[in-house]
Amino acid sequence: MGTDATKPPIRVVHVVPSLQVGGAQRGVLELVQLLEKDTRFRVQLCVLSSRNEFYSTTGLATAPRFLRFSGRLSDWGETARCIRQLRAILRETNAAILHTHLWMADVLGGVAAKGLPLKHVCHLRDMRPWMASPHLRDHCRRFIYKALLAGSQTTCIAVSEAVRTYTCESLGWATEKIRVILNGIDTEEFFPAARPERPEVVVGGAGRFIHEKGFEFLIQAVGRLYRQGVPVRLRIAGEGSSRPAYEQLASELNFADRLELVERVTDMPSFYRNLDVFVMPSLEAEGLPRGILEAMASGVATVATATAGAPEVIRDGVNGLLVPAADASSLALAIERLARDPDLRKRLGHEGRNRIVKDFTLDRVYNQVVDQYMKVLHD
C-alpha cells in the first residue's frame, strides 16, 4: 500500500464502545490493523470503556485510547466528560474522518464531532430491537439518533442488506443514506483441514453466552438427538452471564457430560477445524454474524437461523442449511440430517468455503471502506 509522498496522511479516528470479545470488535480491530499498514492513513482507535484482557491480543501498533466510560448515559457528568475527551482527541489528531461502530459510539461520537471539520462514517453492525420498538423511551432514542446522524457530515455503512433495510424502515431514512459493505474475514487464517475419524459428530457454536444468541435452543436440539441415540457432542466457544443457565439446562436434559462450554478460545481457526457441524442459532439483533463466515471459510457444514444477514450468505441446501429462529425441533432435524450424511457435510463445507472466498474476504471489506473514505472526503 503506497501513497504520494507529497500528500499528508489522512487522519482517521475509530471509536468502539468496548474491546470485549465479539464479532464486531474483531471486525474493528482488523480494519484498524489494515489502516495502520496503509501509508495513506494515520489511525487512532478510541475505546469508550476501560482496558480489558482482550486488549493484549489486539496487535495494534498504536495503543488504543481508553476513555473509561461506564456506558450510563443517564450520568450526565460522566457522559459529558467522555464527550469532551473524545472531542479533544479529534482535535489533537486533526482527524479528517471519525469512524464509529455500534450505537453508543455513534451517539457520543456524533455529539463530539459537531462543528468540527471532519466527516463521520457510522458503521451499522446489528439490528437492535429498540429501533422498531413502540415504547416512548425508544422513540426518544430514535429521535436523538436521527438528529445526531443527520446532515452531510455523516454517512452510514451497513454490514448487510438486512441491516440497511431494518435501519431505514425504523428511522425513515432513504436507502441511499446507507451503503452496504458486507462483513468479511481473512480466508487465509480460516481454512479447511481434514477432520479426524471419530465415532461421534462434533457440533459447535460460538458467541457470547446471552439470550439473543439462542444457544439454549441449540442445547435443547443436540440434547434431543443424543437421547434419540444420535452420537453427538456439543462445544460452544464464548463467555457471558447465561453460562449457569446453559449448564443447568444440559443437566436437566441429562446431557451435561456431552456439553463443553469453552471460554477464552485463543485459536478460533483450530476450534472450527475440529468441528463437523457449526450452528449459529441467533434469535435477533445480529447484522451478519462473523461466526457463519468463519465456519464456512473453514469448510465446516453450517446451520443458521434465517435471521438478519444469514440468508445473504447461506443458500439453503446449497452451501448450508437455514432454519427458523427459536425452534429447537427444526434445529434438531437439520443437525440430524448432517450427522447422518457425511457426504452432505462435505459438499456443504466445500460450497460454503467457495462462497466466502468469492464474496466475503477481508481485503474486499477494506477496499470498499477506503473507497467510502475517499468519497466522503471529496463530497
pLDDT value at residue 254:
92
283 vs 369 pLDDT, higher one: 369
Q: What's the CA gap between 49 and 128, in Å, rounded?
A: 20
Span 335-359, mean pLDDT?
97
Report helix, strand or coil for 341: coil
Which residue's entry shows cell 446522524? 149
Counting other chains too, the contacts that 61-69 makes at CB distance below 8 Å and 24 or more residues apart are 61/36, 62/36, 64/19, 65/89, 69/108
pLDDT score recorded for residue 103: 92
Between vectors from CA 265 to CA 293 and to CA 51, what angle results, nearest 5°? 100
Domains 10-184+361-378 and 201-359 share a fold: yes
Nearest to 49 by CA among 64, 32, 68, 30: 68
Residue 56 has what pLDDT? 56
Whole-model pTM: value is 0.93
Domains of the chain, by residue range, sit at 10-184+361-378, 201-359
CA–centroid distance for 110 within its chain: 22
**56-72, pLDDT tens digit by residue?**
556 788 999 999 999 88
Q: Following DSSP, what letter does each residue of 262-300 receive, concatenated? A: E-S-S-HHHHHHT-SEEEE---SEESS-HHHHHHHHTT-
Q: Residue 197 has what pLDDT?
A: 84
List C-alpha distances in Å: 15 to 6, 134, 374: 29, 29, 19
Domain range 10-184+361-378, CATH architecture: 3-Layer(aba) Sandwich (3.40)
Q: Count of CB atoms within 10 A of residue 18's CB?
A: 20
* Separation between Cα atoms, residue 301 and residue 335, nearest integer Å: 10
pLDDT above 60 for 131: yes
Per-residue pLDDT of 132-158, as tens digits, reads 999 999 999 999 898 888 877 899 999
Percent with pLDDT over 90 in the chain: 82
In three state form, how does the secondary structure of 13-31 look? EEEECCCCCCHHHHHHHHH
Would the CA dihedral through 211, 215, 218, 219 be positive or negative? negative
Does the pLDDT of residue 181 top 90, yes or no? yes
Report the DSSP beta bridge partners of residue 260: 235
What phi, psi does 58 have (nearest 5°)?
Answer: -75, -30
| pLDDT score at 74 | 86
- In angstroms, the Cα distances linking 361 to 59, 64, 162, 267, 294 are 20, 25, 19, 19, 10
Q: What average pLDDT is seen over the chain?
A: 93
Architecture of the domain delimited by 201-359:
3-Layer(aba) Sandwich (3.40)
Q: For position 242, what pLDDT does the model report?
A: 94
